[in-house]
């Protein structure tokens, strides 16, 4: 091993050690991250020179030189911007010279790398341009350091003393080295070899003084950015090794270099693609970073947004049960789980499972040891910890199916206020995950949020069921009301049959009434089977004839209704059964509210193509509060067990359905008038 190789091997070792050291103490600070880039670029630079040779002037060596100086400048400009007085130090005029020198240096290095060296003159020109470019970069760095050191306060100088000193050593020697090589056209190897020694010395100084520098905490890098940056750095390191290997193959295996090079590139690409696409590798990187590089394991804003986004995906419905498992499992890297919820019978039932074989036992008692422990202590149960030390969990006795299932790992309570709504059993993740207080707090909080979502789902389901029962009860009430009217009609026929059974006209009316009742009962049965009130077909009806028919049917009860109208015919479009039921109900109510010696009159008039019916009685009447609060309220009856309380409500709703209106005027002790208005069709 030559002295040159030894110098750059030492520089490579110390630079990589510095890179590892800085990475281990990094907690998301942006300035320390930029310092890590400096250490990384120095490592890449020394490795490249170690592989290609100390005097090699190629595009790859010039690229690593540019990368190294670029990282240095980026770090120094950040220090100038954040750790000094901006008004004094970061004025553009102060940095015109170093910026101009650095741009010139980068341009010269690019020209030097692409200039063909097939002749002696070109080789000499490339040598001079390369030295001049590196000299410009070194001088630019010294000027930046001078401006920064003059702008720092005494306290800031103490905090950044070793950083300024180390960078000054690097730039000063580079300026000395390349000025000698440029002015005297010297190609002495020891001048370049000493660059490796200077880099090693400065790296050692940084290693031992790294924690003495006050790194900024105002700007942080997110966890996801850190993971992607780590993967990028690993990829760049990997590509650097592959590049060196390729160079060695080309230089030393000239006979079969093509085949060997292709083989090396295929293997390298395979491992790189595996690193990028493997979920398990990503999980390992995430756990490693969270464990060693952050004060907190989680970036809570991202975790909470992801948790809410997972809960709300897929839309409403039973799918929410599976998303609860998924949302909680993602926090700790698990896949799948079991969800248990409290049922109406106060048991805890297994309601769903995802990527987890369900146990044979599908129900746990509400007072079992597991349920009592979760509700009283509200702890996350770590089954691995429970197996090692059961005393930590007091008198908890786990069910047999939990103990027998080796995949089970965590039991997360779903607390709704102080009540246990249910719990989720999570399996072990693919990558080992250590549980600490952060996991416990985040899982408990997420469990409460999930319990709120589940409680809303259960409430909505209960509300839907209640509405279905309400709709069925409403249908039953209407059907019973109509049956009551049919029974009243048939009872009237039966009560008069003994007296008029030999009257042919009575028998004809009786048969017609029975036939009408049978038809209506068949329609009611059909409505019950379908579970909803059918609107029925609408036809053109002669409302005058319909009123006369109903009045004739209601004449069997005193006081007999009296009909007054100068109209011979008036047509409306309506369902005959429902409109007949409306008129019949209002006339019957008027008769029920009027003593036998009273009067019930029905007047029909026409005004501006509107049919107006007034049903008037001189019965007991109603007060204004009763009309406002109770008359049209469904299921509110003044007839006790004999009434359903839906006749007036159904009458008003159907009149409005026909685009008509109904109004009431009444006085206690004087009587009542119902006014119906129907449009002509």
Q: Is residue 53 part of a domain?
A: yes
Q: Which of 436, 462, 488 is the last residue of a domain?
A: 462
Domain that holds residue 457: 300-462
Contacts of 526 (CB under 8 A, 6+ apart): 534
Asked if residue 351 and residue 364 are part of one domain, the reply reads yes
Q: Which of 15-24, 84-93, 145-154, 239-248 has the highest mean pLDDT?
A: 15-24
pLDDT above 80: residue 422: yes
413 lies in the same domain as 325:
yes
More confident residue, 198 or 653: 198
Number of domains in the chain: 4
Instruction: Please state the pTM of the whole predicted model.
Output: 0.42
Handedness of CA 147, 149, 150, 155 (dihedral sign): positive
Q: Which of 89-93, 359-363, 581-585 has the lowest mean pLDDT?
A: 89-93
Instruction: From 561, 342, 365, 379, select the one nearest 455 (Cα to Cα).
Output: 342
pLDDT (average), residues 123-145: 86
Alpha helices in 313-436 (DSSP H): 319-331, 369-377, 383-388, 400-404
Residues 25 and 131 in one domain: yes
Q: Are residues 147 and 18 in the same domain?
A: yes
Same domain assignment for residues 64 and 174: yes
Task: Clarify whether residues 391 and 451 are in a common domain.
Answer: yes
Co-location of 114 and 259 in the same domain: no
Q: Are residues 128 and 256 in the same domain?
A: no
Q: How far apart are alpha carbons 517 and 528 in whole angstroms?
A: 16
Q: How confident is the model at residue 219, as a pLDDT?
A: 46
Mean pLDDT (the chain, rounded): 78
Tell me, yes or no, whether 282 and 213 share the same domain.
no
CB 219 within 8 A of CB 30: yes
Give pLDDT, residue 39.
92
**Residue-level pLDDT at 607:** 83
CA distance 381 to 423: 11
In a domain, 565, yes or no: yes
Mean pLDDT computed over 474-494: 66
In eight-state DSSP terms, residue 29 is B
CA distance 512 to 119: 124
Residue 105's CATH number: 1.20.1070
Answer yes or no: is 475 within a domain: no
Domain of 636, CATH number, reads 3.30.565.10
Max mean pLDDT range (153-157, 159-163, 447-451, 630-634)? 447-451
Q: Please report the sign of the dihedral spanned by the C-alpha atoms of residue 24, residue 27, residue 32, residue 34.
A: positive
On whether both 545 and 590 belong to a single domain, the answer is yes
């Amino acid at each position: 091993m030559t002295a040159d190789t030894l110098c750059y091997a030492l520089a490579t070792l110390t630079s990589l050690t510095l890179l590892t050291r800085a990475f281990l103490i990094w907690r998301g600070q942006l300035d320390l991250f930029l310092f890590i880039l400096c250490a990384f670029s120095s490592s890449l630079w020394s490795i490249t020179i170690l592989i290609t040779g100390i005097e090699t002037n190629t595009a790859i060596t010039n690229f690593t030189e540019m990368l190294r100086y670029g990282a240095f400048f980026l770090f120094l400009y950040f220090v100038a911007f954040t750790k000094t007085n901006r008004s004094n130090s970061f004025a553009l005029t102060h940095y015109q010279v170093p910026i101009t020198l650095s741009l010139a240096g980068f341009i010269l290095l690019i020209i030097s790398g692409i200039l063909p060296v097939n002749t002696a003159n070109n080789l000499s020109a490339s040598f001079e341009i390369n030295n001049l470019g590196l000299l410009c970069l070194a001088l630019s760095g010294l000027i930046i350091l001078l401006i920064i050191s003059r702008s720092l306060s005494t306290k800031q100088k103490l905090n950044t003393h070793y950083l300024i000193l180390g960078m000054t050593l690097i730039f000063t020697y580079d300026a000395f080295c390349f000025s000698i090589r440029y002015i005297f056209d010297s190609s002495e190897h020891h001048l370049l070899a000493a660059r490796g020694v200077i880099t090693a010395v400065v790296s050692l100084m940084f290693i031992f003084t790294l924690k003495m520098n006050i790194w900024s905490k105002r700007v942080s890098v997110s966890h996801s950015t850190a993971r992607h940056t780590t993967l990028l750095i690993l990829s760049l390191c990997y590509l650097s090794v592959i590049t060196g290997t390729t160079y060695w193959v080309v230089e030393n295996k000239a006979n079969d270099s093509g085949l060997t090079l292709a083989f090396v590139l295929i293997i390298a690409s395979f491992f790189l693609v595996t690193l990028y696409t493997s979920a398990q590798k990503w999980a390992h990187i995430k756990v490693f970073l969270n464990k060693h590089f952050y004060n907190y394991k989680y970036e809570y804003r991202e975790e909470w947004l992801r948790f809410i986004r997972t809960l709300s995906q897929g839309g409403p419905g039973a799918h929410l049960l599976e998303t609860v498992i998924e949302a909680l499992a993602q926090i700790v890297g698990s896949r799948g789980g079991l969800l248990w919820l409290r049922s109406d019978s106060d048991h805890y039932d297994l309601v769903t499972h995802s990527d987890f074989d369900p146990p044979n036992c599908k129900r746990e008692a509400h007072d079992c040891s597991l349920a009592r422990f979760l509700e009283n202590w509200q702890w996350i149960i770590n089954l691995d910890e429970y197996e090692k030390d059961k005393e930590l969990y007091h008198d908890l006795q786990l069910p047999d199916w939990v103990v027998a299932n080796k995949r089970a790992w965590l039991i997360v309570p779903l607390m709704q206020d102080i009540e246990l709504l249910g719990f989720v059993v999570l399996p072990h993740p693919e990558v080992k995950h250590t549980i600490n207080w952060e996991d416990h707090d985040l899982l408990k909080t997420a469990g409460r949020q999930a319990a709120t979502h589940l409680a809303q789902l259960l409430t909505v389901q209960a509300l839907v069921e209640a509405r279905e029962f309400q709709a069925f009860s409403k249908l039953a009430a209407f059907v019973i009301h109509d049956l009551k009217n049919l029974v009243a009609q048939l009872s009237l026929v039966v009560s008069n049959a003994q007296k008029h059974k030999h009257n042919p006209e009575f028998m004809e009316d009786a048969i017609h009434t029975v036939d009408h009742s049978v038809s209506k009962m068949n329609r009611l049965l059909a409505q019950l089977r379908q579970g909803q009130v059918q609107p029925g077909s609408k036809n053109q009806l002669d409302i005058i004839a319909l009123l006369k028919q109903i009045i004739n049917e209601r004449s069997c009860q005193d006081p007999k209704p009296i009909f007054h109208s100068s109209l011979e015919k008036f047509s409306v479009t309506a369902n005959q059964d429902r409109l007949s039921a409306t008129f019949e109900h209002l006339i019957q109510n008027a008769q029920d509210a009027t003593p036998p010696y009273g009067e019930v009159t029905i007047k029909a008039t026409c005004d501006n193509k509107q049919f107006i019916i007034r049903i008037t009685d001189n019965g007991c009447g109603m007060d204004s509060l009763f009309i406002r609060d109770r008359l049209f309220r469904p299921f509110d009856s003044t007839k006790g067990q004999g009434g359903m309380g839906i006749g007036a409500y159904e009458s008003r709703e159907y009149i409005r359905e026909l685009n008509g209106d109904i109004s009431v005027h009444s006085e206690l002790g004087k009587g009542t008038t119902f006014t119906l208005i129907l449009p002509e069709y």
